[in-house]
Amino acid sequence: MKIKRNKTFSGTPWESKFGYARAVQVGDAVHVSGTTGTDPSGKVLAPGDIYAQTVQSIRNIESALQRLGLGLEHVVRTRIYVTQIDRWEDVAKAHGEFFGQIHPATSLIGVARLIDPEMLVEIEAEAVA
């Protein structure tokens, strides 16, 4: 049985290298891949600024959702991976600015590093249409 998928891509180089979509919708469930604070070419924005990278990551998630006709208000879960866990308050501040009224379930996980050493944060999201 073939599953009907609605996919969207951001155009960053990792999508084609790894063979994944930025977001995939199956029925009412939407899964947004790990998203970093990059521009469409994959260039890391705001090196060293974990708050600004978090903001850009969320804006990139919002853009992926908008291409599927949804918004951040549809997000029910986020998973946040950070390379500098002691800077969690900057990440929390940015997350709260976007999700403070939405209140998705979330996790904050410290990791050794991300695919590019300038990346400080990566966020996954799940949404329901």
> For the chain, which residues make up each domain, given as ranges?
6-128
- Lowest-confidence segment of 7-11, 26-30, 83-87, 119-123 by average pLDDT: 7-11
- Lowest-confidence segment of 17-21, 55-59, 87-91, 92-96 by average pLDDT: 17-21
pTM over 0.75: yes
Residues 34-81: tens digit of each pLDDT: 999 999 888 999 999 999 999 999 999 999 999 999 999 999 999 999
Residues 1-15: tens digit of each pLDDT: 788 999 999 988 888
> Burial, 92: exposed, middle or buried (Cβ in 10 Å; 0-12, 13-18, 19+)?
middle
Write the CATH number of the domain with boundaries 6-128: 3.30.1330.40
Phi, psi of 44 (to 5 degrees): -70, 125
User: What pLDDT, on a 0 to 100 scale, did the predictor assign at position 14?
Assistant: 83
Cα-atom radius of gyration of the chain, to the nearest Å? 14
Count CB atoms within 10 A of the CB of residue 120: 28
Average pLDDT over residues 113-126: 97
